[in-house]
Chains A and B, each alone.
Chain A
Amino acid sequence: MPPPKTSKSEYIETDTGNKISRRSQIHGTQHIILGGKTVIQAEAVIRGDLFRGASTVDPNNPSTPPPSTPSVAINVGRYSYISKSAILRPPSRLHRGTHSFYPLKIGDHVFVGEGAVIEAAQLGNHVHVGKGAVVGSMAIIKDYAYVLDGAVVPPGMVVPSWCVVGGKPARIVGEVGEGYGVEGADGGLARERYRVVGRP
């Protein structure tokens, strides 16, 4: 689909080489750390405003101030790629009666497919999350794991390295080959993906 023509280029490139679409929705930027060379495509939603402390609903003692240090809500590594209309949302859980958010850590060379919803506690390096997949709250996806298109990873699930998960709810359905993640092969296309973004 051709993007609508804009006078300016679609992507803002930061000092560290992040390419961020002007049409992405990024909330709470001070709570987001991008490792550099990260691509965020249009209509992606990144909820940096959901971090521990401020958004904690605590009716008993609302007077307690949020921690002074700006806590990190989302941490993204290098060469990660957030596709169109994906949603990154820090995970949350009810702990000791309070609902609090936890940081979302995304590793290097991660690919998040179009329309995927990520609420994981952690996505390791070289993780591939397919189109329309949902990664539930506090899930942990280890390095080189592969989430198939449309999978629903249930909350709290741990996906070990090299595993392919798919289905609703997601189960381990296979393993990727040993060469997965080699530069240029499947799982190692992050640099290539980064390079072509925003090129005329």
Chain B
Amino acid sequence: MSRPFPYTFISCPCADTPVPDPARKRRSRESPQKQSPQKPAPRPSTSEGEKKGTTANEQRDEDDEDEQTFDPRSPRSDFSLYPPEQLLYCEECHQIKCSRCITEEIVSWYCPSCLFETPSSMVRGDGNRCGRNCFNCPVCTAPLAVSTIENATGNGTQQGPWVLSCAYCLWTTLDIGIKFDKPTNIRSQLQKMTDATPPAAFDRSRQASRTLDSLKHPLSSSASVEEHGNARERERDIEHPAPKEDPTAPPMGADAQFAALKNFYRAQIAETSNSPNDHLSSDFGFSSPGALNRLMSLYTSSSRLGGLYGGNKKAKSKPPVMREALTASEGLQIAPKNGEADIIARLASPDCGWEGVASLDQRKAQAPNARFVGDLLPLPVLLRTKRAKRCKSCKHILVKPETKPQSTRFRIRLIALSYIPLPTLCPLAFSSSSALPSMAPTPDLDSLSPLRPIHVLLTLKNHMFDPVRITLATPPVTPGRVATKVTVLSPQFEIGANSDVWDEALQGASATSSGDSKSAGLGQRGVPEAGKVWDKGRNWTTVVLEVVPGTLPGSSAEGGDGNPETTDEDVVAVAASRKDEDVLEIPVFVHMDWDADAQLDQQNLGKASKADDKVTRELAYWMVLGVGRIQASL
């Protein structure tokens, strides 16, 4: 687990799929009594660990769904457990909502580096990268800073060439031979440099070496007028067989090539389209619904169904055929004749070496033909978004941040913590082994001794303005092969309302300090008793869980030799179950009900209305308490 012990996770009820409300209520009503009747039932002891997996499965199949206890170790539960602060709460559905039960809408785009908002029209037009001076290092992804390479003398304005430099790996644009004339608008400068100008000699020599005489493409036979130009170029290239520094064939940057191809195909579509209102040639491009229409008409025009899809009437006439790009200005790039060989030679050359080759991670962010470190260009920073969140089922807005990137406030924020009690866990000092009285003798949670009972304090803090009644239930023995016995000493209790904030502010200091001293005193002297809450505050209640950590299979404490996985269990299952098996996680079923103010739009208040305007609400969910890690031996 990524969090340090002790932690608490809450399971979003969406995991066990659309649980109908009545079923959930029934289950929650049963849960208090669940502890005793379940005791003799399913869990066999760890010594029969090898059979347990199958028996548990059978059990699960037999069991009614309501009888299941939550298993924090099952692979599915990974997807339903969330830290409490990540959960939302829908006031319409009266349910906890996790990131899987919501949909997101982008509120604004901003650059994470300069924190400027980018209008969505610009995002659509220019791509979702920062258009200012924000760049990431192509080598290590750290942000690049604009700095001058003039030896600054401190007097007056700094003139002179500017570079982007990485303060983390000390890469600069000088490494790829790029300098900037002014410190502003770097992105357009960079674009101009990489697209139009002949490149810095070293890094793009490979591209320059593409020889057009390798134009043995099948298309060349069907070439037309442009071919002459090509042919001439070809001859010239043959005359200069050392094209390493050839400036006559300026290579196109990837962006320019893309733009050229895009223009070319757009023109082609316009030329070959029959109907004037062809959607392919419109700005909406290929993804517009009209495009599908046209594609269908291409295929069906000759058939008798042609008319159905709006195909052209003169079905017999051959539709004009689109051709491919033929010249460099149209975006054609010919693979160099011996490009692969060149690359291999360069890879093998001593001045390249391992360091000179761009790694996969680096190449992923670059143009497709970047292969060496010298080909890497600074990366404009990707934009980030602020997103509003909606409930998937009722479309209610749950979270709506302010649009300004710098703002951390929310217009709407329905987090689960405002509705469900916030669980916090802390170990109670050993009552027996108070060897170190000066400090809190808390057990080391990363190495709990098996079979030695510990007490854990579970504090539930209510953030609602209504008092809440809580019922906790745990399986008597934790699921999994390490059978830890868990007892909630006082499973039913009440938490006070979260009264006015001003009360808290005014009496906060004295109240909390007195509460502290009380709990501190209890922590040293008190004895946990069954049926009694441990401590209670204005809007929080602490109860004690008695935990007897189980023994790990195969550990010395068990006394057996560790060979539990010899038999019929699937190897994969064994491996999966063994991982983090020593982590002690306790599933706790929380059922809460409270009397809320009835809302006018509330429909289902018929059965449970108490007072005039009060309605009893209930909510039930599983949570998982990560207590610690069990030691292998006693």
Binding site for B on A (CB under 8 A): 2-3, 5, 94, 96-98, 136-137, 142-144, 152, 154-163, 169, 171-172, 176-182, 184-187, 195, 199-200
Contact A178 B112 (CB under 8 A): no
Does B86 count as interface, using CB distance less than 8 angstroms?
A: yes
Known interface pairs A5-B438, A136-B168, A160-B112. Does A154 touch B512 (Cβ–Cβ under 8 Å)?
no
Majority secondary structure, A binding face: loop
* CA A169 to CA B361, docked complex, whole Å: 14
Contact B415 A143 (CB under 8 A): no
- A-B interface, 7 closest residue pairs, ranked by CB to CB distance from nearest: A177-B86, A179-B85, A97-B154, A154-B142, A154-B168, A155-B167, A179-B415
Contact B167 A156 (CB under 8 A): yes
Partner of A179, one of B84, B114, B167, B439: B84
Does B436 count as interface, using CB distance less than 8 angstroms?
A: yes
Contact B112 A163 (CB under 8 A): yes
Contact B154 A179 (CB under 8 A): no
Closest residue on chain B to residue A167 by CB atoms: B141
| Chain A residues with CB under 8 A of B84 | 179, 185-186
Does B260 count as interface, using CB distance less than 8 angstroms?
A: no
Q: A184-B461, A185-B422 are in contact. List 12 more A-B contacts (CB 8 A).
A: A97-B152, A97-B154, A98-B154, A154-B142, A158-B112, A158-B143, A160-B112, A181-B85, A182-B415, A185-B84, A185-B85, A195-B516
Contact A178 B408 (CB under 8 A): no
Contact A178 B86 (CB under 8 A): yes
| Chain A residues with CB under 8 A of B158 | 96
* CA A146 to CA B558, docked complex, whole Å: 42
| Chain A residues with CB under 8 A of B358 | none
Contact B168 A177 (CB under 8 A): no
* CA A192 to CA B140, docked complex, whole Å: 38
| Chain B residues with CB under 8 A of A180 | 85-86
15 CB < 8 A contacts A-B:
A155-B145, A156-B145, A158-B115, A169-B141, A177-B87, A178-B85, A178-B410, A179-B87, A182-B85, A182-B417, A182-B422, A184-B422, A185-B84, A186-B84, A199-B516
How far is the CB of B120 from the nearest CB of chain A, in Å?
A: 18
Does B88 count as interface, using CB distance less than 8 angstroms?
A: yes
Contact B115 A96 (CB under 8 A): no
* CA A5 to CA B141, docked complex, whole Å: 47
Closest residue on chain A to residue B82 by CB atoms: A177
| Chain A residues with CB under 8 A of B416 | 179
How far is the CB of A39 from the nearest CB of chain B, in Å?
A: 16
Contact B88 A195 (CB under 8 A): no
Partner of B436, one of A2, A137, A181, A195: A2
| Chain A residues with CB under 8 A of B413 | 178
Known interface pairs A158-B112, A179-B416. Does A186 touch B142 (Cβ–Cβ under 8 Å)?
no
| Chain B residues with CB under 8 A of A186 | 83-85
* CA A171 to CA B142, docked complex, whole Å: 8
